[in-house]
């Protein structure tokens, strides 16, 4: 059977899922309460920066397989399978996840589901959420939980070629439907389990990734104290296939709309369950210290005070190849420097509009060269290729650079007369 699908919530995850499902040949209706976003999407305008997604969106619209609406009535009538891709941000004033977008969406959708339907949660939620939601559904509506593991910057690739698919189901029928839905993806490892395990796989994976990053950043702290080099250390650790080199990228640490809020929500939920995951608080604390250390290193390089000093900030997005500035380490550092009296000039290849809107107090430069010109110190905070490709001999009078992502070749910067410093590496390399 060719299912007709809806995707409720068209943010980073929802747009990607909707466009990819349409690319697989399904008829898909995306729904959001943001009227402007829906109008734009129906005109083929992608509201985010994501490699290959704009083309997929426009191909879906052109084929007639994909369209968008703000009407729950239309969604209820249209779909057999309804994917929930709502946001689950950190609760205001706390660490737990705010699942109110999911509650509202489900309350708005359910009354329009007049025939047997499957609702599939993809959002990242505290364990126990799916059970609670399932208990509130009418008998002809079933719930499954199918967490998503895509990375921003690789969203399309990860959706069409996932490492694994996890299905939390309460019946064979739901499993059958979802196996059919994902069959066009080919031979992908599939883990079929209960709701709670499916919900936990997602937060356990993100907590592991965050822990791995903070582990190498804790090693960077030790390297700094001992005069060792964390980049060589990570390289040597990574050769051990049991450890692996991925996510041992030391530097400014993790940000974004997921890892930080997910480890906090997981720790909060684990507390409620009476199983405190105290190490996650340390993972969070190590991560925060990296931001402070970057600011301190920059301050040191401009002689102890930022007052009146020009600081070039390369990067605003939380990672390269994204325009997402949610909990961006780069903007956190830029703001701290600004508050300490520094004259900040930020450049980012994709996140300038988002950054300007969120932080109008910061200065912005149209090119990296403009940001760097006359700067007393340059901070590389997001490792866009446009920045790692910069030729240090072509940037005017050399000053100092903090490579907070260990992404540059120290020798070429030093050879060009720059004072090069990085986190977790000796001053002289």
Ligand X SMILES: NC(=O)C1=CN([C@@H]2O[C@H](COP(=O)(O)OP(=O)(O)OC[C@H]3O[C@@H](n4cnc5c(N)ncnc54)[C@H](O)[C@@H]3O)[C@@H](O)[C@H]2O)C=CC1
Residues near ligand X (CB under 6 A) are 8-14, 31-34, 37, 85-88, 101, 104-105, 123-124, 148, 150, 152, 257-258
Residues in contact with ligand UGA, counted by CB under 6 A, come to a total of 21
Smallest separation (angstroms) from ligand UGA to the CB of 167: 16
Residue with Cβ nearer ligand X (21 or 343): 21
Residue nearest to ligand UGA according to CB distances in the complex: 249
Contact, 332 vs 291, CB < 8 A?
Answer: yes
Contact, 137 vs 162, CB < 8 A?
Answer: no
Residue 65 is labelled as binding a ligand: no
Per-residue x/- track, 106-135, ligand UGA (CB under 6 A) = ------------------x-----------
Residue 212 is labelled as binding a ligand: no
Please indicate whether residue 223 is annotated as part of the active site: no
Pick from 298, 299, 359: nearest CA to 328:
359
Q: Interface with ligand UGA includes 253 (CB under 6 A)?
A: yes
Residue 32 is labelled as binding a ligand: yes
Give CA–CA dist 297/379, Å, rounded: 10
Q: Interface with ligand UGA includes 209 (CB under 6 A)?
A: yes
Provide the 8-state DSSP code for 163.
Answer: S
Residue with Cβ nearer ligand X (87 or 253): 87
Considering only residues 149, 238, 353, 414, which one is a binding residue for ligand UGA as defined by CB under 6 A?
149
Q: Interface with ligand UGA includes 213 (CB under 6 A)?
A: yes
Helix (H) or strand (E) holding 223: helix 195-226
Phi, psi of 68 (to 5 degrees): -130, 150
Q: Residue 163 CB: number of other CB atoms within 10 A?
A: 9
Phi, psi of 167 (to 5 degrees): -120, 115
Residue 233 is labelled as binding a ligand: no
Provide the 8-state DSSP code for 89.
Answer: P
Helix (H) or strand (E) holding 388: helix 385-388
Per-residue x/- track, 257-276, ligand UGA (CB under 6 A) = -xx-----------------
The CA-based dihedral angle spanning residues 385, 388, 394, 398, taken in that order and rounded to the nearest 10 degrees: 140
For residue 107, count CB atoms less than 10 angstroms from its CB and return exposed for 0-12, middle for 13-18, buried for 19 or more.
Answer: exposed
Candidates 27-35, 108-116, 172-180, 250-258: pick the segment binding ligand UGA (CB under 6 A).
250-258
User: What residues are designated binding site for substrate?
Assistant: 149-152, 202, 247-251, 255, 319
Active site residues: 258
């Amino acid at each position: 059977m060719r299912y007709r699908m809806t995707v409720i919530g068209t943010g980073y995850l929802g747009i990607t899922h909707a466009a990819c499902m349409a690319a697989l040949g399904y008829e898909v209706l995306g729904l959001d309460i943001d009227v402007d976003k829906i109008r734009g999407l129906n005109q083929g305008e992608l509201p985010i920066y994501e490699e290959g997604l704009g083309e997929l969106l426009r191909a879906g619209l052109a084929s007639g397989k994909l369209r968008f609406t703000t009407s729950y009535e239309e969604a209820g009538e249209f779909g057999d399978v309804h994917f929930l891709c709502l946001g689950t941000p950190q609760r205001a004033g706390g660490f737990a996840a705010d699942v109110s977008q999911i509650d509202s969406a489900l309350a708005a959708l359910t009354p329009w589901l007049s025939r047997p339907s499957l609702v599939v949660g993809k959002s990242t939620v505290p364990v126990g959420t799916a059970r609670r939601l399932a208990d509130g559904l009418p008998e002809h509506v079933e719930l499954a939980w199918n967490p998503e593991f895509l990375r921003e910057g690789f969203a399309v690739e990860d959706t069409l070629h996932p490492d694994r698919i996890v299905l939390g189901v309460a019946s064979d029928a739901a499993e059958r439907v979802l196996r059919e839905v994902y069959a066009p993806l080919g031979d992908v490892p599939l883990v079929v389990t209960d709701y709670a395990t499916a919900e936990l796989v997602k937060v356990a994976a993100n907590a592991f990734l965050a822990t791995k990053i903070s582990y190498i950043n804790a090693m960077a702290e030790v390297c700094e104290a001992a005069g060792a080099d964390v980049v060589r250390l990570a390289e040597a650790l990574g050769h051990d296939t049991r450890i692996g080199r991925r996510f041992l990228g030391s530097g400014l640490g993790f940000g974004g709309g997921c890892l930080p809020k997910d480890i906090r929500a997981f720790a909060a939920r684990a507390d409620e369950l009476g199983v405190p995951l105290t190490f996650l608080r340390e993972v969070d604390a190590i991560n925060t210290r990296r931001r402070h250390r970057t600011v301190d290193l920059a301050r040191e390089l401009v002689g102890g005070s930022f007052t009146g000093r020009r600081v070039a900030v390369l990067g605003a997005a939380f990672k390269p190849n994204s325009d997402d500035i949610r909990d961006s380490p780069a903007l956190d550092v830029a703001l701290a420097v600004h508050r300490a009296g520094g004259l900040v000039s930020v450049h980012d290849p994709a996140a300038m509009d988002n950054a300007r809107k969120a932080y109008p107090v910061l200065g912005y430069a149209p090119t990296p060269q403009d940001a760097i010109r006359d700067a007393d110190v340059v901070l590389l905070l997001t490792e866009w290729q446009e920045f790692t490709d910069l030729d240090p001999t072509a940037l005017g009078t050399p000053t100092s650079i903090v490579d907070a992502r260990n992404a540059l070749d120290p020798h070429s910067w030093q050879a060009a007369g720059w004072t090069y410093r990085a986190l977790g590496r000796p001053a002289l390399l």
